[in-house]
Amino acid sequence: MTTSTDPNSSTQDTGYACIQRYVKTLDNSPGVYRMLDVESRVLYVGKARNLKARVSNYTRTGHSGRIERMIASTASMMFLTTRTETEALLLEQNLIKQLKPKYNVLLRDDKSFPNILVAKDHAFPQIKKHRGAKKEKGAYFGPFASAGAVNRTLNQLQKAFLLRNCSDSMFDSRTRPCLLYQIKRCSGPCVGLISDTEYRESVKDAERFLSGRSTKVQEDLAEQMMAASEAMEFERAAGLRDRIRALTQVQTSQGINPRGVAEADVIGLYMDSGQACVQVFFIRANQNWGNKDFYPRVGPDVSPAEVMEAFLGQFYDNKEPPRQLILSDAIENADLMQEALTEKARRKVEILVPLRGEKQELIAGALRNARESLARRMSESATQAKLLRGIAEAFGLDAPPARIEVYDNSHIQGTNAVGGMIVAGPEGYMKNAYRKFNIRGDDLTPGDDFGMMKEVLTRRFTRLQKEDPDRDKGQWPDLLLIDGGAGQVSAVHEIMQTHGVEDIPMIGVAKGVDRDHGKEEFHRVGQRPFALKRNDPVLYFIQRLRDEAHRFAIGTHRAKRAKAVGATPLDEIPGVGAARKRALLAHFGSAKAVGRANLADLKAVEGISAGLAQKVYDFFHDKG
């Protein structure tokens, strides 16, 4: 792979003349090109089978309005030649996700999807939700469209197969069955209420069900139920009946389960008024494991083929593609995309655009969902735009804010203190921009809300000035909402002045004299507080923003507190990992007992070497 720019790039030609100058320097290699404006901001990233031919197209007339504007803004170009067209395609999508160019179709929501994991690192495997890299030993089933879809399926699978979902440490420490056993969601392997062999059979049944062989599993359970009934083991028969019902419930909640499609993503694209919705249905093991909608950034004159190709390249950049992609719209470089995805998956991946049959019916369902989702979103966006205009009018802003940041703190008497920042804009809550701040200040007085807010804002704007000094990446807020009154606003104003940021308006939202929901007072620097009418939609909007910030901050605080509850002094000892920590706690019963133990007792613990026993002993006895 080689990189090149024009040696005469200092010439200030723009538009067609600029591009024509670059064409003379190119050959027929495959590669990726970047178009930049006068301030060297990337306008567009594109791939080419033949760089010279592709870039030459921009020197001709007859382009759409969007392309004409892009050409007119082009002041320089960059090129990366590659060995193959497939390499160019993959590089293009990486650069688009990294640089987020103005004129590219951009997928904005790109989080990973959850799976169900049947862990295989224990004699009694655990079934649980898993998200992220598949490093843990076990069988993975997914992806599912959402955490909710996984949780619903896990809930029914627990009823059907009675598999444990507790952690290994909890499993090892049990002396009697937990509540899940009592409500018939677990078979109680932790206290020997089911044999190793029987439990593993249940695990195999669960894996068969998740692999699409649900009919066989249900037939086996039905036979066992009949046998139990004939033997007059009515309680066991009733339990098996409930398990069959649980499996039926999973299948019912999945909706359409195609017979002729074993593994595919069904992708429907609907476009209207310069906006697009892509609906993805996940079909695995002939079962529908949910659907998810995406709203890529598009222009008014972008073709469906361009949107679909950009979506596929960016969506599967960090996800394993299924065996089939069933699309509503054909893409221009289907052979290239298929080759790239096949190479990524290390097995054949097919791209299909069906015109009839079951696959076409699946596409019709995806398109219907995409159309309805986009209509709802456009309606919500219109309402959101109206509310943002109302905020600008109420608080005397020059324009409706495109990015509102709302801050809140949460703690209990100063312990486990965290700060939370939520973000909202024209499209609602921007949850991928939310941030949490673990309060580090050792010199803070417990419960010092001013000090906490000062730390949060200092860290936020220090990072902003480092990562986006030119304010051209859309990371800077147009409005700050602070949970508090005049004192909080004054403190935040001082922080902003310290960082040389005095052009961002801020509003303090206080509960008012009676601390009554609906009587909020709004505080601004150097101005008297004021209130909005009780039935003003803008007031309700601000209340929702503040409540969302509070929900996020308190949720983060609870997670931190829960983690702290499980912490012990053993976590601070070098060489004591999770397994050895479990061994010590299981042997002695508590961290306090470990600290009181003598050296000989520590050496007697299974898995604890003489050297590590000495480290543990020294940790508790040599602190003074």
Work out the percent of the chain whose per-residue pLDDT is above 70.
89
Q: How confident is the model over 212-233, as pLDDT tens digits?
A: 776 666 677 777 778 777 777 7
Residue 75 has pLDDT above 90, yes or no: yes
Residue 254 CA: distances (Å) to CA of 140, 145, 279, 432: 19, 11, 16, 28
Give the other-Cβ count within 10 Å of 323's Cβ: 15
Q: Are 614 and 599 in contact (CB under 8 A)?
A: yes
pLDDT at residue number 72: 93
Query: What is the per-residue pLDDT for 111?
Result: 74
Residue 381 is assigned to a structural domain of this protein: no
Q: What would the mean pLDDT of 586-605 be, rounded to a whole number?
A: 84
DSSP codes of every residue in 134-192: --SSEEEE---S-HHHHHHHHHHHHHHH----S-HHHHHH-SS--HHHHTTS---GGGT
Instruction: Spell out the alpha helix ranges (H) of 396-448.
Output: none
For residues 490 and 356, state if they share a domain.
no
Q: How many CB atoms lie within 10 A of CB 529?
A: 15
One domain for residues 573 and 560: no
Return the amino acid letter for 561: R
Element (H, E) at 123: none
What pLDDT is recorded for position 360?
94
Reduced 3-state DSSP string for 295-362: CCECCCCCCHHHHHHHHHHHHCCCCCCCCEEEECCCCCCHHHHHHHHHHHHCCCCEEECCCCHHHHHH
Looking at 177-319, which runs of residues are DSSP E strands? Answer: 263-272, 275-284, 287-294
Report yes or no on 156 lying in a domain. Answer: yes
In the block, tokens 């598999």 appear at 163
Q: b/e for 162-176, b at 16 or more Cβ within 10 A?
A: bbbbbebeebeeeee
Q: Report the CATH number that the domain containing residue 579 is assigned in CATH.
A: 1.10.150.20
pLDDT at site 622: 66
Number of structural domains found in the chain? 5
- 604 and 543 both lie in a single domain: no
Q: Final residue of a domain: which of 522, 546, 564?
A: 564
pLDDT average, residue stretch 248-267: 73
How high is the pLDDT of residue 580? 83
Q: Tell me, what amino acid is at 299?
A: G
pLDDT on residue 409: 80
Contact (Cβ atoms closer than 8 angstroms) between residue 45 and residue 36: no
Min mean pLDDT across 122-131, 258-267, 523-532, 585-594 is at 585-594
> Which one has a higher pLDDT value, 469 or 401?
401
- Looking at per-residue pLDDT, the higher value among 36 and 592 belongs to 36
For residues 593 and 610, what is the distance between their CA atoms, to the nearest angstrom? Answer: 18
Q: Quickly tell me which residue has 């309402």 as its tokens.
A: 383
- Alpha carbon 535 to chain centroid, angstroms: 36
Residue 423 one-letter amino acid: V
Shared-domain flag, residues 285 and 246? no
Q: Are 34 and 45 in contact (CB under 8 A)?
A: yes
Tell me how far apart the alpha carbons of residues 189 and 258 are, in angstroms, rounded to a whole number.
Answer: 36
**Tens digit of each residue's pLDDT (9 = 90 or more) over 443-459:** 656 656 777 888 888 88
Round to the nearest angstrom and report the end-to-end CA distance of the chain: 60
pLDDT top residue among 59 and 1: 59
Structure tokens at 56: 């030459």
Contacts of 201 (CB under 8 A, 6+ apart): none
Does residue 573 share a domain with residue 493?
A: no
Identity of the amino acid at 576: V
CA-closest candidate to residue 583, choices 616, 620, 541: 616
Mean pLDDT for the chain overall = 85
Inside any domain, residue 546: yes
CATH number (domain holding residue 523) = 3.30.420.340
418, 505: one domain = yes
pLDDT at 53 over 80: yes
End-of-domain residue from the set 209, 224, 253: 253
Q: What whole-number distance in Å separates Cα of residue 239 and Cα of residue 236?
A: 5
Do residue 538 and residue 573 come from a single domain?
Answer: no
CATH number of the domain encompassing residue 94: 3.40.1440.10
Please indicate, yes or no, whether residues 123 and 239 belong to a single structural domain of this protein: yes
Using DSSP, how many helices (H) and how many strands (E) does the chain show?
Answer: 20, 19
Query: Would you state the pLDDT for residue 416?
Result: 66
Asked if the structure places residue 393 within a domain, the reply is no
The residue-averaged pLDDT of 417-445 equals 83
State mean pLDDT over 168-191: 87
Lowest-confidence region among 74-83, 392-401, 613-622: 613-622
Give the pTM.
Answer: 0.72
Structure tokens at 550: 């509070």
Angle among Cα 592, 556, 481 to the nearest 5 degrees reads 145
446 part of a folded domain: yes
pLDDT at 588 over 70: yes
Do residues 124 and 211 share a domain?
yes
What is the three-class DSSP state of 384? helix
The C-alpha atoms of residue 508 and residue 515 are separated, in whole angstroms, by 14
Residues 243 and 369 in one domain: no
pLDDT surpasses 90 at 44: yes
Q: What is the pLDDT of residue 571?
A: 73
Domain around 361: 263-375
Q: What mean pLDDT is predicted for residues 262-288?
A: 91
Q: What does the pLDDT read at residue 624?
A: 42
Residues 560 and 573 in one domain: no
State whether 120 and 84 are in the same domain: no
- End-of-domain residue from the set 230, 253, 276: 253
**pLDDT value, residue 246:** 66
- Residues 576/566, Cβ–Cβ less than 8 Å: no
What is the rounded CA–CA span in Å between residue 416 and residue 439?
8
Mean pLDDT of 395-403: 92
pLDDT at residue 352, rounded to an integer: 95
Residue 350 burial (CB < 10 Å; 0-12/13-18/19+)?
middle
CA-to-CA distance for 263 and 323, rounded, in angstroms? 6
Would strands 404-412 and 479-483 be described as parallel, antiparallel, or unpaired?
parallel
Per the CB < 8 A criterion, the answer to whether 506 and 525 are in contact is yes
**Does any domain span residue 389?**
no
In a domain, 85, yes or no: yes
Between 407 and 112, where is the model more confident?
Answer: 407
Which residues contact residue 36 at a Cβ distance below 8 angstroms, ignoring those fewer than 6 apart?
42, 43, 74, 75, 76, 77, 78
Q: Assess if residue 302 is contained within a domain.
A: yes
Residues 6+ apart with CB under 8 A from 177: 186, 188, 190, 191, 193
Which one is predicted more confidently, 112 or 197?
Answer: 197
The edge-to-edge listing of strands for the beta sheet with 2-4 is 2-4, 76-81, 31-36, 42-48
